[in-house]
Amino acid sequence: MTEFVDQRVKDGAFQKITKLVHDWVELHAGEKFSLDQICRDLQIRERDNRKSVAIVLNRLRDQQKLEKVSNYREALYRPIDNTIKSINWVDASMDDVLDIRWPYGIEDDSQFGFDGKVRVSPGDIIVVAGVSNMGKTCLCHNFLWENMDNHACTLMGNEYTASKFKRRVSRMTWHNPIDVTGKPKFELIERRENWKDIIRPDNINIIDWLNLGENWYEIGKVIEGIQSKLNKGIALISIQKDEHKTLGRGAGFSEELASLYLTMDFGRLYVRKCKEWVETNPNGKAYGFDIVDGGVKFHRIRQIVKCKKCWGSGQSRGSECEECGGTGYRDV
């Protein structure tokens, strides 16, 4: 084999293939790939030339520039990344948090209690997982409305049209979305995929909602890609949740990178995960709410707990629980 390789090294065609492979691997840093994939991309079809590509890849592996891994179908290569990003935590400020304002009950001033109590830092991910038509968009729009005067905001939607959006926000009269120059105070973008490509690094990025079709197992990587583009900004990501499930679609993969993970289900908001808080730990707390005025306002927000008589099922002795009215929860 050594003699065979040495003969190739002296060959000009081999040198050309070597450069093509090195350039391709550098361009696809961070991606796993197979021999077939790289040969396809480089349009290398002849058997001897494919062998040359394999030799170059094995050399890169010997030089610890590639790692050979496998899945259930084929051998794959992964570029090894030896770059290090050191974190200077000694000189960091402990006050590097965003002044985030949270939605509230407009007509009765009822609160979730997150203002000043839940810490959101630059680069954080907030996930809101909710049953369809149960308040995710209301929360996203109210979050935008409460922060657009103090932060650069971008709202990305996959179901918006100009007329529908204008009709909806025309009822959100407690703040003016137009600045003194007559322009919107936020950016509205239609987006259905590849969200990380247009993330604004220093903005509050609100994605309503993230849809991966049947590929929900990819949600962890999608959120990781979004977070990788953040600098001083954050991302609030809305995803769908199936009824009676404790997590959104993608299950644990949707939760891993979230600093704050909220679920919404039939008039209830539940704090599934909060990594940083002040004074009172909100993890595990639940809040009841109403949504009024055509779906644009929260109303009667209050803390709730599971009903002790039916233990959250809403049923007692085969009929609707009288204690909680079949909701499974009661006010604190």
Mean pLDDT over 64-81 rounds to 84
Task: Give pLDDT tens digits for 12-40.
Answer: 788 899 999 999 998 888 888 999 999 99
pLDDT band at 71 (very low <50, low <70, confident <90, very high): low
Q: Where are the domains of the chain?
A: 2-79, 125-299
Q: Is residue 3 scored above 50 in pLDDT?
A: no
The predicted pLDDT at position 11 comes to: 64
Name the DSSP class of 163: H
% of the chain with per-residue pLDDT over 70: 96
H/E stretch holding 57 reads: helix 47-62
Q: How far is CA 278 from CA 110, 116, 282, 332, in A?
A: 20, 7, 9, 21
The predicted pLDDT at position 325 comes to: 84
In single-letter form, the type of residue at position 242 comes to D
Q: Is residue 290 scored above 50 in pLDDT?
A: yes
Task: Give pLDDT tens digits for 236-268.
Answer: 999 999 888 888 888 899 999 999 999 999 899
State the chain's mean pLDDT as an integer: 90
Q: How far apart are the C-alpha atoms of 131 and 270, rounded to whole Å?
A: 12
The predicted pLDDT at position 50 comes to: 92
Q: What is the pTM of this model?
A: 0.78
Residue in 134, 137, 131, 180 with CA at minimum distance from that of residue 156:
137
Q: Where are the beta strands (DSSP E) in the chain?
A: 66-70, 75-79, 125-130, 153-157, 186-190, 204-208, 234-240, 260-264, 268-274, 286-292, 297-306, 315-316, 319-320, 329-331
CA atoms within 13 A of residue 44's CA, in its CB half-sphere: 23
| CATH 3.40.50.300, domain 125-299, yes or no | yes
pLDDT band at 289 (very low <50, low <70, confident <90, very high): very high
Q: Is residue 284 scored above 50 in pLDDT?
A: yes
Please name the fold of domain 2-79: Arc Repressor Mutant, subunit A (1.10.10)
Q: At what angle do helices 2-9 and 47-62 cross, to 10 degrees?
A: 100
Task: Give pLDDT tens digits for 193-227.
Answer: 889 999 999 999 999 988 888 888 889 999 999 99
Q: How far apart are the C-alpha atoms of 123 and 87, rounded to whole Å?
A: 14
Mean pLDDT over 147-156 rounds to 97
The predicted pLDDT at position 6 comes to: 47
Mean pLDDT over 49-63 rounds to 93
Token pair belonging to 118: 């839940």
